[in-house]
């Protein structure tokens, strides 16, 4: 049995952790759960992930939650050649910065938009919150587009962990029609990401 176990919900933040593992060829066990069932709120699971969310990664004796922490751990332990996170600065610093930007700056406005435009009952939605989040996402798209003017990927000329971190956000933006033809370079970039074999495997079931 693999030493690595990922608690996973399709289409959630845990998808990008699965994608990262696939890119690096790390054997892993997948524990599929749903938001609707009680698994995430059991005392056993809350001891691993205090808010009862996904992803949670167990790697030997290490238990990690939060995408950024998981990425840092996986890349440090399972990417010794620096394929997805260069081993030396300044390239390493650049990729790490964009990787955490993708989660800390690019992802939050999407979460706000989804809550107030899609997920919440209509009587609980705040239109102004959705509108402001949409404006923030346009700023995110513009920042990514500027990067793509000089290279094919977010943080470097080649594919890195920063692209994995951002890819889920772009996938969800496409699904709710936030990312469209007004950003052709981002659409082409997303297709480059979605065309990767590891991405396909991570989305297989």
Per-position DSSP letters for 127-179, written without gaps between them: HHHHHHHHHHHHHHHHHHHHHHTT-SSSSSSS--HHHHHHHHHHHHHHHTT-S
Sheet containing strand 4-8, strands side by side? 29-32, 4-8, 56-59, 62-65
Averaged pLDDT, 15-39? 93
Going from the N-terminus, what domains does the chain have, and what CATH number goes with each?
A: 4-80 (3.40.30.10), 91-196 (1.20.1050.10)
Averaged pLDDT, 36-64? 93
Q: Given pLDDT bands bounded at 50, 70 and 90, which one contains residue 24? A: very high
Per-residue pLDDT at 38: 82
Structure tokens at 18: 């699965």
Angle at 21 between CA 146 and CA 37, to 5 degrees: 100
Work out the burial of residue 115: count CB atoms within 10 Å of its CB; fewer than 13 is exposed, 13-18 middle, 19 or more buried: middle
Per-residue pLDDT at 1: 57
Average pLDDT, rounded, for the chain: 96
Share of the chain above pLDDT 70, in %: 99
Q: How many CB atoms lie within 10 A of CB 180?
A: 12
pLDDT tens column, 158-170: 999 999 999 999 9
Share of the chain above pLDDT 90, in %: 94
Model confidence, pTM: 0.95
Averaged pLDDT, 95-123? 97
């Amino acid at each position: 049995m693999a030493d690595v176990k990922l608690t996973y919900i399709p289409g959630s933040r845990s998808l990008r952790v699965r994608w990262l593992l696939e890119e690096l060829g790390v054997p892993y066990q997948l524990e599929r759960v749903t938001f609707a069932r009680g698994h995430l709120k059991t005392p056993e699971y809350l001891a691993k992930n205090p808010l009862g969310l996904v992803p949670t990664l167990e790697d030997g004796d290490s238990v990690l939650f939060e995408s950024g922490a998981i990425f840092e751990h996986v890349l440090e332990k399972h990417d010794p050649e620096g394929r997805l996170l260069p081993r030396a600065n300044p390239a390493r610093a650049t990729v790490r910065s964009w990787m955490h930007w993708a989660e800390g700056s690019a992802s939050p406005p999407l979460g706000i938009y989804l809550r107030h435009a899609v997920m919440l009952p209509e009587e609980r939605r705040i239109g102004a919150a959705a509108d402001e989040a949409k404006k923030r996402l346009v700023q995110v798209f513009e920042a990514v587009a500027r990067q793509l003017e000089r290279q094919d990927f977010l943080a470097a000329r080649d594919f890195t962990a920063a692209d994995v971190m951002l890819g889920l956000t772009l996938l969800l933006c496409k699904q709710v029609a936030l990312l469209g033809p007004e950003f052709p370079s981002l659409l082409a970039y997303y297709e480059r990401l979605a065309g990767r074999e590891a991405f396909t495997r991570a989305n297989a079931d």
